[in-house]
Each structure stands twice: as C-alpha cells, then as structure tokens.
A and B are shown apart, each in its own frame.
Chain A
C-alpha cells in the first residue's frame, strides 16, 4: 500500500508553500479584503507561469500534466494561504467542466488559454438561495442564446467566460459556455470579500453547449470540484490549527501558557482529529480523481462532509483560542473564518452533501 503523495509531489507542495508564504502573505489577502483589488492579479500571473492553473490539464492542451494529485497538493496550499485568486473557479470548475464534458474542439479552444492564465473562468450555477437542484435552474437557452440571472457566481466580475448551468429548449439542464465580455455584471458585497462574487445578467447571450450535458454532467463537475475544494479546506483548517497552537504557546494567563490548560488542549485535539479525518478522506478523493474510480461520487460526498466540518471547526476555534484579539480586524483569524464559510457553501453546503452522501449510501447498501 502506498497511500501517500509521492516525493515529487511533496516537493511540489513544499515549493508551493514557500512560494505562497512569500508572495501571498496576509497583506496580499487583505488588499482584496479592503477592496483595493478584486483579486491578486500579479499572483495569478505568477502561478499561471508556474503551470499551476493547468496542473491537471493534459499537456496536449497546454497543461502541465502534473495530474490530479498534483492539483490536489496545490489546492491545499492555496487554501492555507487564503489565496485571493480565481483558482478554484477556473481550475476546479470551468476547466473541469470543459475537460469532462467538452468536445475536442472546445477543449482545444479553451484549455490552453486557461492553462496559461489568459482566460479566467467561472461556474455560474446558483440563482439565489438554495442548493444545487435541477428544478431550481430557470436560466434558459433558446436558439443558442442564454437568458437568465445567476448569483452568486464566484469570480464572476473578473472572469472572461463562464460555464453556465441552464435549461435547453426542452427544459433539460445542461452546461453552456458563455463569453462574459458583454454580460451585465454586478459585484456583490459578501461575507468573504477576499473572493470576488457577482450577479450575472444574461440577456440573449450567445452560448455553445458542452458536448456531454444533462444534470449528470453538472453533478459530475460538482463531485470532482468537491475533492479539490476539500484540499483547500484541509489547507485552511491546518493553517488555523497552526495559528491557534502558536498563540496558545505564547499567550499567558493565570501565570501560565494558555496551551497548558486542558480546556484549550482538548479543544485543539478535537480540531486535530477533525482535520486528520478530513485529510485522510481527501487523500482518498485524490486517488479517486486520479484514477477516475467508480466510487468517486461517494468519496466526494464523504470528504466534502468531513472537510466542511473540519474547516468550520478549526476556523471558529482558532478565534476562540485567541480570545478578544481574535475578534479584531487586525488579526488574521477572520480571513479563515470567512473563507471557511465561502468554501463551505460553494458548490452546495453541508446539508446538501450530507443528503447526497445518504442517497449514495442508501443506493449502495440496497444493491
């Protein structure tokens, strides 16, 4: 058994961690938080040049061909750095939709430009409150033109194109490619300003349908993205635990480090446990993604549940461990707390994935 990343990928992870700690410190994240920039464009350029965006894109389409395990390793580091870039929208969602559902021509048209950073993508599914649901899709494509409103769309105001979930003439949901140049966009104020969110107004926008479509193809994109987002969640949770631990060692109360109190130790032990379970489930997801395993949907739902729970727990207990200082704007705890919620509701929140996991288990156990 070799249930671990290879030495090469561990090296990639260490390089990515060093690079991001240097080029994406909290000061960079805070430029987005404070509204000075929509995303870290310089950082985006650099990670494109290093081949990260196209990590899992095959070399024939201009990707780095590092495979999904490579993309997973990078995702963990992006999560650790709370990176304010449209990485997930572009690499986990838009590129994946095109890779899994696009025609050869669509792949040749889009993937090389995604990989080199010249095209930013987004995934436009939601239409207001609620979780992923074919019945909730009202956007419609008639005669190759899309009409409807999508919100929130992560990275929607900075993206060049969207993969849109919309219904066709027969009211069947599917995936469509839309150029966003002439689409009306409204930037949304959200609880995580380090990520761009938009409301997109499509009004007869010309679109092309991705070759293989239907709700199954939407769910397939969500399943695969869940695995990659889980690595971001694991990275974020790990950063929270490290922060909390460091603070608990330095902060004294009642004449001793607060990390010597069992109330703090047991709290952080529980965070560690949740994080390790999520990490182990995520590793299995990485394997399932890399091998396109038949139980990928079950693996994805499982890790989505544990990664969402783990990052939520880690980010809130990090604030709690810090006490009052953790509630200030100046200390970075809230960057993770915000991002944990943003990642936790992107592509469907905990109740949605718990329900999906129960569905898959019910089907499996009936078989």
Chain B
C-alpha cells in the first residue's frame, strides 16, 4: 500500500497545481466556502470565465476525446484535478450537471454531427445544460413520469411539467425523458430527447426552497416542439437512456460539505457546557469520535475507489455509500452544533453567529442532500439490490399499462 502518485500522475498533479496557483485563490483559514445555493447573473459570468480558462489550459473534460476539447486521460486524472482544485476558491454550480450527466448521455446516444456541434461548446462553458427528469408524480419512482410527447410529422410535441430542475433558468439546452406511450407498462413507454431551453412553450418558475434559496425550478411544457432528430435512443427506450445518465450521477463523488467534524471540534472548544468547554464533556466527545470515524471511513473508501480508477476499473453502485453517509452526517452535525450553542444557535446575524453561520445554513439546506440525486431510501435499495444482490421489491405496477396504474391524490 502507498499513497503515492505514479510518475505520470505526479507530473499531472504538479501541472494542475501550478495552473490553479496562477489562476485561483487558495482557500484560507476556517471560513467555509459555502456551496452555491443559487447562481445569479454575476456568478454565471464568473463560472463561464473560469470554465473557458480551464478549457484553454487543457483542464476541462479531461477524460473526453480530444476532438471535443478533452484530453483523453483516464478518470484518475479527473480525481487528481478535483483534489487539487478543492484547495482553491473557484466558481462552481453551473456546469456540474451538464458536464457530469447531460453530455455523457449525449456522447452515448447522439449523432456524430450533433456531438461536433454541442460538446465543444459545453466543454468551454459557452452553453449550459440541465437535466429534466423528476416530475410532481415521478421522484424516486422516476419511471412514473407523466409528461407526454406525441409525434407530429418530423416533430414531437411535449406537454407536461418537470420539477427540481437545477439551473433550468440558466440553461441553453436540456435532456428530457417523457412518456410517448401510456398504453404499455411504465418503463416501456418512455423516450429520451435533448431540446433547446429557449423553445417556445417552455415556462420556468423558480421554487422557493425551505432554505430560502431558489436553485431548483419547475419547468412547464405547453406544445413544445422537438425535432425527431433530437431523440436519444429508440422510441420506447427512454428508460435505458436514463440509466446511462443516472450511472454518471453516481460517479460524481460528492465533496465533503461543512460543517464537518473538525468544525464541530473547533466549536466545542470555546462553547461552554456545564461551566467547561463543551469538548470536555464525554457525551460531546463520543459524538465527535463517532463522526470522525465515519468521516475517515469515507475518506479511505474514496481512496479505495481512486485505487480502482487508477487501475482502470469502473466504480459501481457501491459508490452510493458517500452521499448516503455524508448527507445524514451533515444534518446531524449541524443540528448538534446548534444544540451546543444553546438558544443562541438560532441566531443567523453575521455579527453574532458562531462559525460564520455554517451550522444554521447547513441545518436548513441539509434535508435536500438526503433527497436529491437518489434519496436515502433509494440509495439503500441500490446497495441492497445491486451490491448485496437482494431481490427487487415486489411492485404493484409491474406489467400493468401505465394508464391503468393506480395513483394517489398527491
């Protein structure tokens, strides 16, 4: 065992580091770089400028073909770049879904001339993509989606509603899965397209989240026309294409969010409990110990994944462990930190709050981590079925035409 880079990896790491040092500001001190909870026009400009700079220097789309602006490197180099970038403050939040999920799906199913047209612009960040999957009636049960597409000449006409679409209001293009045949069982009647988000008939409304931010959207479709040439995969094969997209979602190992256990240690050193620093209290110490052991366990699980990547292996469903553990841990640490602050833990005024308000911000944003991109329950199903090999749940809608499946009031 060792933690050393290969010669090639070390050279790449050094190159990435010097690029970042020359072009970005290092993270400093304990102040957290809070995840973008909404990207405004100014932030969009910064994101676009940064992506173009990365592309010019050859650090965008490291694993993609050179003809699309990529570098044709193995995935381990993307991991190395991400590790290095994590030490710097860089604009984020605009391209993760497009480059992480939409374009990989395009590369698997779009026509060569479409790839020539769309991929290089996505790599340079000139065009932004979103993913239109979830619906009011199809979240964890994604295949229960109801947005309809009907054939009309060379076009398809889309009517319905998508929801939880990150960045729809900032996007130029989107990938979408819709129902083209309600008379067959749910997985068999879906078809996949990409479309222009500026098409007539698309209306985007931001969702006001419980955290106060407006990052997700509802997207309404009224007689939106999409040419058949923008279909990805065969008619009725939309579910299979969706799986391609979702597999890529799992490869995007989430970075550790704050507050983490080190922030809790820092807090408990100066907040008092029973007349002494809270860290002197054994209940607090036990919590710290268990969360630290979890954090380290995830870190070294990531190292095992990186080792597999480095050997050219592809990480599989076992990667679900990261979000499953991190999302709950974040929520629990946020809540516990606030408990340690006592009543003052409620306060979010910048001049009065502890730890830059990160515990309060995380308390309010962390519920989404346990739901978005596969809920805790779905991730446990994935581990149970695809890692442990337990049977799928028995489904009440199996083999039944979609339009005969019972539905509830919500």
B390, A265: Cβ atoms closer than 8 Å = yes
B-facing residues in A341-367 (Cβ within 8 Å): 351, 353-355, 357-358, 361-362, 365-366
Of B1, B304, B321, B391, which contacts A69 at CB under 8 A?
B1
B28 within 8 A of A: no
Chain B residue numbers with a CB within 8 Å of A303 are 293
- What size tier do the contact residues of chain A reach? 35 or more
B387 adjacent to chain A (CB < 8 Å): yes
> Is A248 a contact partner of B262 (Cβ separation < 8 A)?
no
A361 engages B265 (CB within 8 Å): yes
Whether A1 and B5, one on each chain, are in contact in the complex, defined by CB atoms closer than 8 angstroms, is: yes
- Give the CA-CA distance A353 to B282 in the complex, in Å: 12
Contacts of A278 in B (CB 8 A): 297
**Among the interface residues B299, B303, B387, which one has the most CB atoms of the partner chain A within 10 A?**
B303
Structural contact, B297 and A268, CB atoms closer than 8 A: no
Q: Is B296's CB under 8 angstroms from A248's CB?
A: no
How far does the Cβ of A242 sit from chain B's closest Cβ, in whole Å?
Answer: 9
How many CB-defined contacts (below 8 Å) exist between A and B? Answer: 165
A297-354, CB < 8 A from B? 301-303, 305-306, 309, 351, 353-354
Number of interface residues of B (CB under 8 A): 51
Chain A residues in 8 Å Cβ range of B304: 3-4, 280, 283
B266 interface hit (Cβ, 8 Å): yes
CA distance A106 to B380 in the complex (A): 52
Q: Does A136 contact B (CB under 8 A)?
A: no
Selected from B9, B262, B292, the residue in CB contact (under 8 A) with A357 is B292
Q: Give the shortest distance, in Å, between A333 (CB) and chain B (any CB).
A: 18
Q: Are A281 and B288 in contact (CB under 8 A)?
A: no
Residue of B at shortest CB range from A262? B393
Residues of A with C-beta under 8 A to B5: 1
Q: Which partner residue on chain A sits nearest B299 by CB separation? A: A280
For A215, list chain B residues within 8 Å (CB): none
Partner of A259, one of B4, B285, B297, B391: B391
Q: Which residues of chain A are within 8 angstroms of B266 by Cβ–Cβ distance?
A: 365
Query: Of residues 241 to 282 in B, which have CB atoms within 8 Å of A's CB atoms?
Result: 262, 265-266, 269, 279, 282
Interface residues of A, Cβ cutoff 8 Å to B:
1-5, 69, 241, 245, 248-249, 256-257, 259-262, 264-266, 268-270, 272-273, 276-278, 280-281, 283-284, 286-287, 290, 301-303, 305-306, 309, 351, 353-355, 357-358, 361-362, 365-366
7 contacts between A and B (CB under 8 A): A3-B1, A4-B304, A248-B390, A259-B390, A269-B380, A277-B298, A281-B297
